[in-house]
Amino acid sequence: MAKFFAVTIIVIAILSAIPILRHTWVAPEDISTHGALIDEQMSETMAEAGISFLAAQFVLAIFIWKFSNPGPDAKLKNFPGGAKGLVIAAILVVGVEVMALGIFGVKAWANVYLTPPSADALPIQVQAGQFAYYFRYAGADGKFGATHPEMINEGTQNIFGLDPEHDVDARDDIIAAEMAIPVNKEVHLLMHTKDVGHSFYVRELRVQQDFVPGLDVSLHFTATKVGKYEIVCTQLCGLGHYNMKAYLEVMSQPDFDNWLKQQAGQ
């Protein structure tokens, strides 16, 4: 029974590792300028976690195999080195390595969150609401019209609560349900939610950030590859949470300019 248990542990450990080693299920290819560091951090952590996982399971299995149901003449022994050796090993091998990972990881985090966006980044406002995203571009005047929460009306498609009748800035604002951005240009995303908490997650862009009701947060990134990607919500926001998504279209600069023109015409 014990030997079978030991084998089971080893088999499970190996089977668990196979999809990781074969990259059966991995994040989609990175299309951002900051993502490489995150991916690198991920694979280094995977190496360390994987080795710890396999080592711990193997040692456990070997000891179970070896020391279960011994004969009557088996002598009790203690692991040479005792607890002190193990504590030192835990601190030196696992502790220090994990801390080192953490310290290296600061750079990947800082890239996204601790650096300001460049001055010429394209500002786009995204407003999350139950259960869709809408995007706003400032239009020709480069100014966003003021928002008036009390004027928000999805029935008349006044998603942002703009008041074009009295507010000149709002008249040329472009509002879209999909997010188009030019490739290789930094985007400064101004994040606002009109109701509850939501999140902005684009796997390919290596970006995830919650929307905080009552607090506008911002994010900046640069996409490096033309294509169509999904933006999904990762913060439980109500019954339609599973269906809250939008598409991110990364376009060449001329395509993007055309897209803007076409949107402005509608």
Q: Tokens 């502790």 appear where? A: 95
Phi then psi for 177, rounded to 5 degrees?
Answer: -95, -5
Distance, CA of 148 to CA of 150 (rounded, Å): 5
Question: Under the criterion CB under 8 A, does residue 146 sit at the interface with other proteins?
Answer: no
212, 191, 202, 209: which is closest to 127 by C-alpha? 191
Min separation Cβ 100 and other proteins, Å: 9
Residue 41 binds to other proteins (criterion: CB under 8 A): yes
* Residue whose token pair is 């942002």: 160
Least CB distance to other proteins at residue 70 (A):
5
* Residues numbered 184-213 forming contacts with other proteins, rule: CB under 8 A: 194-197, 199, 201, 203, 206-213
Q: Binding other proteins by CB under 8 A: which of 33, 109, 172, 224?
A: 109
Q: Closest Cα to residue 220, out of 116, 148, 89, 144?
A: 116
Rounded CA-CA distance 209/191 in Å is 9
Binding of residue 77 to other proteins (CB under 8 A): yes
Among 14, 21, 27, 168, which residue interacts with other proteins (rule: CB under 8 A)? 27
Residues in 121-140 that interact with other proteins by CB under 8 A: 129-132
By CB under 8 A, tell whether 22 contacts other proteins.
no
Paired tokens of 27: 């994040």
For residue 142, the minimal CB distance to other proteins (Å) is 22
Q: Is the peptide bond before 144 cis (omega within 30 degrees of 0)?
A: no
Cβ of residue 138: shortest distance to other proteins, in angstroms? Answer: 18
Q: For other proteins, which residue of 7, 14, 21, 56 counts as binding (CB under 8 A)?
A: 56
- Considering the rule CB under 8 A, would residue 258 count as an interface residue with other proteins? no
Distance, in Å, from the CA atom of 12 to the CA atom of 248, rounded to the nearest integer, reads: 39
